[in-house]
Amino acid sequence: MAKRNEKVLDPSTHDLRDPNPWLAMYLDSSIPMNDKAKQALVMDNDSRSRRWLMPAIIVSSKITMFFVHIFKFFFPRILNSSKFLHRILSWGLRRWVSPEANLLIFRHFHTGSEIVEFVSKNIDGVETKSVPLKPFDFEDVKDDLFLNHDLNLYNFIINLNKEMTEKGIQIKEQEKVDLSMISTDGFNIMDFPNKWSNILDLRSAIEIFTPFYQLFLTKNDFYRASNSLQLDETIGIYSSKILGSPAHLGLLNNKHPLVPNSTYGASYRLVLHGLASESLHAILVQIKMHAGSADGVIVTR
């Protein structure tokens, strides 16, 4: 992977007659993003899997989802097993997914957990707490990781807004922003396997896993997982009110949670969801570092 990084991400390889689009995206600093995650995303986009396997996988995934949808309509209670699903996901991630895609998947749980904790700790007068999910290896996936990610997000929003309504609380700009939960040096995640079989790019992996998700989860769990992607806008608005700046809302693409999208486009929106999470987390890291609070103290605006 290192040699590929050197070739694709090295500015000295730039050819004026044949510029590499991924080198341009990597060098572009308009979208805030952790450098390690950005490298992984660029390499994932430049992979052979994305170029040659993904088109066929997308078509196959959509067809499979159609038949699973019909099957679940007639037999909604058959094969519902989140435990079995997550064992499949853990095995699939370990055996078939590339190191770059695995890094982006695992990072997402860490960035998402820290963003939700940031929101919960920066609203005056509320006691609702977030439930962080920070997996460090494939065994952590087996503990219903993906399902709990969605459940925790919905429960947080419901409990938070119930409490704010009962107490008459509004989310306001904070003079002292607590960024103690935001990691500035990355996350202590395992080194991912890089065997001959670890070839699947991020989008292809999600497309393959989605029909399994649909098959082994209940209808409510699957639709909730798909619709949760549009909560990017909800969390983004909470954060913008706390920071007193709506600038990062322009980076959101999963919007309007009151108007749900089709589950057939969930894989693409999931990648956008991950990018939105990385961008917001990078903004919080920049604020924290600029304020000289890498030790976790409260930042005074």
pTM: 0.93
Per-residue model confidence as pLDDT tens digits over 25-75: 999 999 999 999 999 999 999 999 999 999 999 999 999 999 999 999 999
Q: Does 20 map to a domain?
A: no
Average per-residue pLDDT in the chain? 92
Chain centroid, CA 220 distance in Å? 21
**Number of domains present in the structure of the chain:** 1
d(CA 248, CA 175): 19
Q: Does 17 map to a domain?
A: no
Q: Does 25 map to a domain?
A: no
Q: Does 118 map to a domain?
A: yes
Burial of 106 (0-12, 13-18, 19+ CB in 10 A): buried
Mean pLDDT of 213-222: 96
Per-residue model confidence as pLDDT tens digits over 92-144: 999 999 999 999 999 999 999 999 999 999 999 999 999 999 999 999 999 99
Q: Could you tell me which residue, 212 or 189, shows the higher pLDDT?
A: 212
Per-residue model confidence as pLDDT tens digits over 228-253: 999 999 999 999 999 999 888 888 99
Q: Is 177 helix (H, G, I), strand (E, B) or coil?
A: strand
Q: Does 19 map to a domain?
A: no
Q: How confident is the model at residue 13 (pLDDT cuts 50, 70, 90)?
A: confident
Task: Tell me which residue range forms the domain holding 104.
Answer: 39-68+79-300
d(CA 100, CA 1): 9
Q: Does 8 map to a domain?
A: no
